Amino acid sequence: MTQATVTLPIGIAEIQRMLPHRYPFLLVDRVVEFESGRRVLAYKNVSANEAFFQGHFPGRPVMPGVLVVEALAQAGGLLTQLSSGGSAEGRLSYLVKVDNARFSRMVVPGDRLDLEVTIKREIRNMTQFCGLATVEGQKVACADILCAEVRD
């Protein structure tokens, strides 16, 4: 990958230029650290107003684990986009596989979900990421994620 110059932090407007996701499925609010071709640290502020809390679970809101994994995958997409200059035009990455997913703690309203994603390996149009989600330094979830890039 080419060496990319990035000004941190990266806010929601720039994230929306790099990812196709929108409310209620955009699950990254800010990128705070970035090493081109290697690693990204981003976060999601988990608000009581999130649509998924209406049914998961009424009276005891918990962020679904699959959405924590999706947030990690989106952070991986940002890592890929930032490493290649930040242009998503004509390219989309799709989640292909999730391995070794482990959940250690519930994510609830008011939490800041920190998302650390590193590139494990790249093969042709696919990238394998290692993702770690934490809240206040405590591990929430981890997973190995495989994404494939396709061109429009």
Catalogue the active-site residues.
56
Q: For the sheet containing 39-45, what is the strand order?
A: 30-35, 39-45, 112-123, 126-135, 138-151, 91-103
Query: Among 1, 7, 125, 145, which Cα is nearest to 73's?
Result: 145
Q: What is the C-alpha separation between 124 and 126, in angstroms, rounded?
A: 6
Strand extents, DSSP E, 25-137: 30-35, 39-45, 91-103, 112-123, 126-135
Region for residue 51 given its phi and psi (left: phi exceeds 0; alpha: psi -120 to 50; beta: otherwise):
alpha
